[in-house]
Structure 1
Amino acid sequence: MLNVVSPTVAIVIPARYGSTRLPGKPLADILGKPMVQHVYERAMQVPGVTQVVVATDDERVRAAVHAFGGSCVMTSPDHPSGTDRLAEVMEQVEADIYVNLQGDEPLVRPKDIALLVSNMAASSTIQVGTLCHRISASDADNPNNVKLVQAENGDALYFSRAKVPFSRDGDEVPYLKHVGIYAYRREVLAAYGQYSQPMMEHAEKLEQLRLLSAGIRIRAFEVDEAGPGVDTPACLERVRGILGGGVPATKVSDTNNSSSSAALRGTAGWPSLNGVRLVITDVDGVLTDGGIYYDETGECLKRFHVRDGLGIRLLEEGGVRVAVLSGRDSPTLRKRLADLGVSVYKLGVKDKFSACHELMAEVGVIAETTVFVGDDSIDLPAFAACGLSFTVADAPYYVKAKASAVLSLKGGHGALRELADAILSAQGKSHIFDSAEGFGTIMAGAVQ
């Protein structure tokens, strides 16, 4: 009887200390542990793995890994890509298969890595393995979501930031998002430095295209939708909320389904609001019910809700600035803003993305600490500009799909007040609105 020897498998976790958007990212605290520890512990749960090791270029990361009992190797700080760093690790860590698991993926599922490892072990013809999951057509529009198309056997034909495959006739087609976890056979990794950078890698900024250009096959295995990685402070706050048990790991799907929309309703399903310093709100459909009325003189009239007005003042008194952004401008709106004491606003705006950044600069905050509240397609550029986005209960399903979370109240019916209470509660200031003593401290500035 022939004895089949299982390949040895090493999981390597690259963890660079330097990060433009989030310096010191591997050591970011999540529930009392550095982020890299969460990744390491999940990697250790994968069956059939010979070794788990962190690869870093910074002594602080090495010290943190050793402090929690992990294994770590030092690598050069000059590698142009994660694959090059992995190739250096190969010189110190012996294995037949190397899994590249990024150190900013604390929500990675051990079962997904196990699926990748088991398939690599079962077929020696698979040179490189990776993961993917289905996404909606609207999510496929985002160039930050790398898409792939597959052959019948699961091999990747191409990876792109573009929306591939392109549906010429507008028919519905499936879209697959690439999950950046790779498994390499030793011989592929050893030869990686010999492959030249092709035009398509340079254009797309996707290093896996170098392998495809060199004739290396990459087999992609489909898994369930993955939780978010950590790229920015806002991402970090969301992951903290998920691991703390309060936030769903996946966002609302792009479907007109009331149960899906409800998945992010209510404060238990919201991302962390602790760091919010600025709330930018739309007017029509958020502060009003969306109705527009004209009197006999042609003056535009709107119906505001007094609770939203008080919510704005509560936020301001609680140290959170509120700005108003509207595509319309009218004497009625300016009178309402004056009554509420709102001094930061932009009216008659066409480019909401740029306007949001101008408001942030005026207040002196960054996108990661800014929330936008909108209700329709015209607000989607503002969603993209801000770290968090909320929409009202009666927004279209496709707007809900793009928001960080959905409020339980309709526009013009106290939705902004709902968010204001949630922000103040998250920041330990609920006494401002839920006690007579607390409200008494801010009564002078409280208006409706």
Structure 2
Amino acid sequence: MATPEQRVAIIIPARYGSTRLPGKPLADIAGKPMVQHVYERALQVTNAQTVVVATDDERVADVVLGFGGKCIMTSPNHPSGTDRLAEVMTKIDADIYINLQGDEPLVRPLDIKTLAAGMLADASVNVGTLCHPINADESHNPNTVKVVLAHNGNALYFSRSPIPYPRDSTVATYLKHVGVYAYRRHVLAEYSSLPQPMMEHAEKLEQLRLMAAGYCIRAFIVEPTGPGVDTPECLEIVRKLFEGQSPTPKPKLSDIRLVITDVDGVLTDGGIYYDATGECVKRFHVRDGMGMRLLEENGVRVAVLSGRDSEALRKRVADLGITLCQFGVKDKLAACKELMQQACVTKDQTACIGDDCIDLPAFIACGMSFAVADAPVYVKAAATQSLAAAGGTGAFRELADAILIAQGKDAVLGSADAYAKVMAKMAQ
């Protein structure tokens, strides 16, 4: 049990202004606003003395007070959730503060109790969090943050990349980081003054600021958790779970048998060049061509779908031996369906890659969709995943490699012998 010197407070940040799902804390789930589900589950954490919602919007505050919850107003200008928690610390007296996101209506009280108990049992642990095992397919999703641990449970590193990397194609065990944190008071007091290291900027993970400053983060392993709510699609999945329905399984990279790619802004950097005769000249990335051939030779078809048409484009596609293609397309939704029919695959066996709003109909048509790194934010929001590479810099190859790895065919990527078996058919 916590002593008076070890008081635990659960803080639930609840921002109204979500880019992908405005008004998210108030979204209705089974007749209650989402934030109420989180609050009521937090109340079941028996080793916490305080539960409070922290918001920067009066609409959220009114709803919380309306269902009998406790709420405090915070500044709308905090750059991170941890900075918001630091402000809460000045208003709520505790020794350990647990940051429980307001978009986790399926959170298990036992998991939060485990986190609090770990902090209470070991005074040397200044920051705590949670994680759980995932499969190799999910490890390649950059939206899933991975963590590797030392023998004592301290985090060694967090990354959007799959860590550890299976260099010799051995089976690796992956842990997904669950974004729930527990902090001791003095850590929060120092957080806002800590410099932002390069790795935080690169990964866009604020916990790396603490690690760079020398703080250890203890990660407690729990059972796989239910999904949080980041997008309208996530919200519908959670609603079904509350109704006792099983959500439709999402397609995986291991299921993909056809990849449909845009050209300008994906296979090229989006630049269009004309020579003296008016002929359009395009600059392609050689590794994308290799990725196409690797997929084709390993049982995954590739289709080229372009809103433009030119001799340069047709020549490139012919050089690569790609036979599934459509040029000068205005209706990409219908074109994708035609290409799937020609390849004899289903929607769930098809992935597409795009860079702009003209590709959004293709995103709808395909089971999985990928946006290049320099795509507009609204295109990334509509995609299943965003890639690390920009258009024309190897984005297609990045996806091709991920598919081959997910399908257990990654030996061709790092073995000269395996590559030699298909080399005779390859063209860059």
Is TM more than 0.5 here? yes
Is the Cα contact below 8 Å between 2:145 and 2:158 reproduced in 1?
yes
Q: Which residue of 1 aligns with 2:413?
A: none
> Is the Cα–Cα contact under 8 Å of residues 323 and 359 in structure 1 kept in the other structure?
no
CA–CA distance in 2 between the matches of 1:181 and 1:73? 20
Query: What secondary structure is seen at the aligned counterpart in 2 of 1:87?
Result: helix
Q: Partners of 1:65 and 1:85 in 2: how far apart?
A: 18
Amino acid in structure 2 at the alignment position of 1:68:
F
Give the corresponding residue for 2:17.
18
Task: Give me the whole-angstrom Cα distance separating, in 2, the residues matched to 1:255 and 1:124.
Answer: 44
Separation in 2 of the partners of 1:371 and 1:103?
Answer: 32
Checking the alignment, whether the CA contact within 8 Å between 1:242 and 1:249 is kept in structure 2 is: no
- On the 8 A contact 2:351/2:369 being kept in 1, the answer is no
2:353 corresponds in structure 1 to: 353
* 8 A contact 1:104–1:229 mirrored in 2: yes
Residues 131 and 219 in structure 2, CA contact (< 8 A), matched pair in contact too: yes
Q: 1:70 to 1:251 in 2, by over 3 A?
A: farther
Cα shift readout 1:271-320 (whole Å, capped 9, x = no counterpart)? xxxxxxxxxxxxxxxxxxxxxxxxxxxxxxxxxxxxxxxxxxxxxxxxxx
Q: What is the Cα deviation at residue 168 of structure 1? A: 1.4
Q: Which string of whole-angstrom CA distances, capped at 9 and with x for unpartnered residues, describes residues 113-145 of structure 1?
A: 011011111111111000001111111111111
Q: Is this contact kept in 1: 2:351–2:366, CA < 8 A?
A: no
Is the aligned partner of 1:161 residue 2:172?
Answer: no
Q: Is the 8 A contact 1:120 1:129 kept in 2?
A: yes
Partner deviation per Cα, 1:231-276 (whole Å, 9 max, x = no partner): 11111111111111112699799999xxxxxxxxxxxxxxxxxxxx
Residue aligning to 1:46? 45
CA distance in 2, matches of 1:153, 1:328: 52
Q: CA RMSD in A?
A: 3.4
Q: Which residue of 1 aligns with 2:122?
A: 123
Q: Is structure 2 residue 268 aligned with structure 1 residue 239?
A: no
Written as runs of structure 1 = structure 2, the 5 A alignment for 1:137-156 is 137-156=136-155
TM-score, normalising length: structure 1? 0.60
Q: Whole-Å Cα distance in 2 between the matches of residues 51 and 201 of structure 1?
A: 31
Answer whether contact 2:370 2:383 (CA < 8 A) is retained.
no
What secondary structure is seen at the aligned counterpart in 2 of 1:245? coil
Does the C-alpha gap of structure 1 residues 80 and 222 become closer, same or farther in structure 2, counting only changes over 3 Å?
A: same
Q: CA offset at residue 48 of structure 1?
A: 1.3
Matched residues, percent identical? 57
Q: Counterparts of 1:205 and 1:227 in 2: how far apart (Å)?
A: 23
Q: Structure 2: how far apart are the matches of 1:152 and 1:80?
A: 33
Amino acid at match of 1:18: G
Equivalent residue number for residue 224 of structure 1: 223
SS state at 2:51 partner: strand
- Alpha-carbon contact 2:13-2:101 (below 8 Å) kept: yes
The answer to whether 1:325 aligns with 2:299 is: no
Structure 1 residue runs of 5 or longer lacking an equivalent are 257-321, 334-349, 374-378, 389-397, 400-448
Q: Secondary structure of the residue that 1:16 maps to in structure 2?
A: coil
When residues 100 and 353 of structure 1 are mapped into structure 2, their CA distance, relative to the original with a 3 A threshold, is same
Which amino acid is 1:325 matched to? C
Q: Give the conservation status (yes or no) of the 8 Å contact 1:228–1:249.
A: no
Question: What are the superposed Cα offsets for residues 157-178 of structure 1, whole Å, 9 maximum, x if unpaired?
Answer: 1111111111211111111110
Distance verdict in 2 for CA 1:193–1:360, change over 3 Å: closer
Q: 1:6 to 1:251 in 2, by over 3 A?
A: farther
Instruction: State the match for 1:9 in structure 2.
Output: 8
2:374 alignment partner in structure 1: none
Aligned residue in 1 for 2:171: 172
TM-score (norm 2): 0.63
